[in-house]
Amino acid sequence: MATISPMWFILLGITCFCVTDSYGANMPLRTLYGGTHQEALLGLEAFKASITRRDSIASTPPSFSPSPSPSPLPSQDLKKSHVYLVTSYGADPTGNSDSTEALLAAIADAAKGPSVGFLMKDIKDLGGAQINLEGGKYIISKPLQLPLAGVGNLMIHGGTIRASYNFPPDGHLIDLSTSGESNSYNYEYITLKDLLLDSNFRGGGISVKKTLRINIENCYITHFNTTGILVQGGHETYIRNTFLGQHITAGGDKHERDFSGTGISLLGNDNAVTDVVIFSAEIGIIVTGQANTLSGVHCYNKATGFGGKGIYLKLPGLTQTRIVNCYMDYTNIVAEDPVQLHISSSFFLGDAGIVLKSVNGIVSGLNIVDNMFSGLNKGVDIVKLDQSNSPFNQIDQVFVARNVVRGMNLKATTAKMSLLGNGTTWTSDFTKVLLFPNLIKHVVYSLSANGNTFPNHALRNVSQNRVVIETDEAVNANVFVTVDQGNAS
């Protein structure tokens, strides 16, 4: 076996001393001094690789320049984690015992945690603090509320919350509201995500009051007897990818006649409901605020035949709502005195349709276009007028057209007809297709006569949704008539 000279051991010892002084905590001495010559060489190679890696990731030393003033170190509070695990507060993830106080304690700590600045005026930015339910199931006996107003950038996520049997019947499991009144918004940018909320037929699921930019995403809300999600005042609550049902069913429930409650109530402006399913409730979505958007919504709550409503626009006179790409499954859209309402690219199944309900007799700025209707061949109109309170007498800028219909009666505000005959009078009857009775605002017609004569012709009468054209002599002709009920002129 080859031997190692004393000089080599001296050099090796110096090298080991230098490296050990810098990295002694990371590399035990036995790596260098123990074992054979070959093991010693392997140890040196390992040190060399370690030093090279450290040097390669080290930042390049700055060129000589006056050093900037050092930034103050963050406070100890800002160094703490912003994730609050509810089990560390004593919450029971098995659901065997009440976790109300533990969850409220976690929420209180998060709300009073370190602030990294401000969002809207008087609203502290909590820096993305998270209340993590850790995939547990928790029983609560009173609503979960933030202890103070004026906070934002906070998330509650990842678990199941169920009401106990003594939960207040008028409460909501998660309540983003305050007992006092304030001139500004209560909260901003609060996210409720990945939650299953079981109201146990004791009140509702989520209440959002006088807030700004709230996210409700990927939630399953069930067994409510009031409202699944209540949005009151404020702006810009976005509800996405969420399922709501008073009873857990997939349609055809034998107790459907008894469904009650409301899936979503929008009592505020500028909100959006996107890719949401309401599978059981008396009313799917009720809207009493302006400038809201509903898209990708599937309503198969209580059927219209049992007295249910899919989407109820209960804000006569200034609707300002857009309903796009929705699926109304045996349940209607009902709109009171709609002003600025757009419904398009939606599918209506099982005689589901649209009801225009007169309150003060106003309908203006209404578009119902490019929808599909599939019915049961029972003679149901795709768009119906409810004039039980008063007739519609202020009709302007209404366009109902380009809808595809099967098994239901087509209704529209514009229609075309052609007549072929020999005589002096041509009558075009549009009563079956036109939406409003005895209303034609605009007529365009043309007469194409055969033979060598040039008859005089005129529009003689427009009443009861009929158009009469006359010529001054009998003639063999084609007459083409286009009418419009909603023309603005």
The model's pLDDT over 195-232, given as tens digits with 9 standing for 90+, comes to 999 999 999 999 999 999 999 999 999 999 999 999 99
Arithmetic mean of pLDDT over the chain: 87
Task: Check residue 118 and give its pLDDT.
Answer: 82
- Average pLDDT score over residue span 269-275: 98
Res. 20: pLDDT tops 70: no
Res. 64: pLDDT tops 50: no
Which range of 11-25, 178-192, 302-316 scores highest in mean pLDDT? It is 302-316
Instruction: Report the C-alpha gap between 358 and 97 in whole angstroms.
Output: 52
Res. 350: pLDDT tops 60: yes
Task: Check residue 180 and give its pLDDT.
Answer: 58
Res. 76: pLDDT tops 50: no
392-408 confidence digits (pLDDT tens) = 999 999 999 999 999 99
Instruction: Report the C-alpha gap between 429 and 382 in whole angstroms.
Output: 19
Considering only residues 356 and 64, tell me which one the structure prediction assigns the higher pLDDT: 356
- Average pLDDT score over residue span 9-16: 41
Of 235, 240, 230, 244, the C-alpha closest to 271 is 235
Q: Residue 453 — pLDDT band, cuts 50, 70, 90?
A: confident
Q: Dig out the tokens for 255 from the structure.
A: 């107790």
Task: Check residue 7 and give its pLDDT.
Answer: 45
Which range of 34-48, 76-90, 471-485 scores highest in mean pLDDT? It is 471-485
Instruction: Report the C-alpha gap between 344 and 294 in whole angstroms.
Output: 11
Instruction: Report the C-alpha gap between 126 and 77 in whole angstroms.
Output: 12
| 40-54, 205-219, 264-278: least confidently modelled range | 40-54
291-346 confidence digits (pLDDT tens) = 999 999 999 999 999 999 999 999 999 999 999 999 999 999 999 999 999 999 99
Q: Dig out the tokens for 360 from the structure.
A: 């003060």
Task: Check residue 137 and give its pLDDT.
Answer: 98
* DSSP helix/strand/coil, 47: helix
- Average pLDDT score over residue span 453-464: 92
Res. 10: pLDDT tops 60: no
* CA separation, residue 234 to residues 170, 186, 227, 230, 290 (Å): 21, 9, 18, 12, 12
Entry pTM = 0.82
Task: Check residue 178 and give its pLDDT.
Answer: 80
Sign of CA dihedral 302, 304, 308, 309: positive
Q: Residue 36 — pLDDT band, cuts 50, 70, 90?
A: low
Contact 294, 335 (CB under 8 A): no
Instruction: Report the C-alpha gap between 22 and 187 in whole angstroms.
Output: 51
Instruction: Report the C-alpha gap between 148 and 224 in whole angstroms.
Output: 26
Q: What percent of the chain has pLDDT over 90?
A: 77
Res. 66: pLDDT tops 50: no
| 182-191, 247-256, 441-450: least confidently modelled range | 182-191
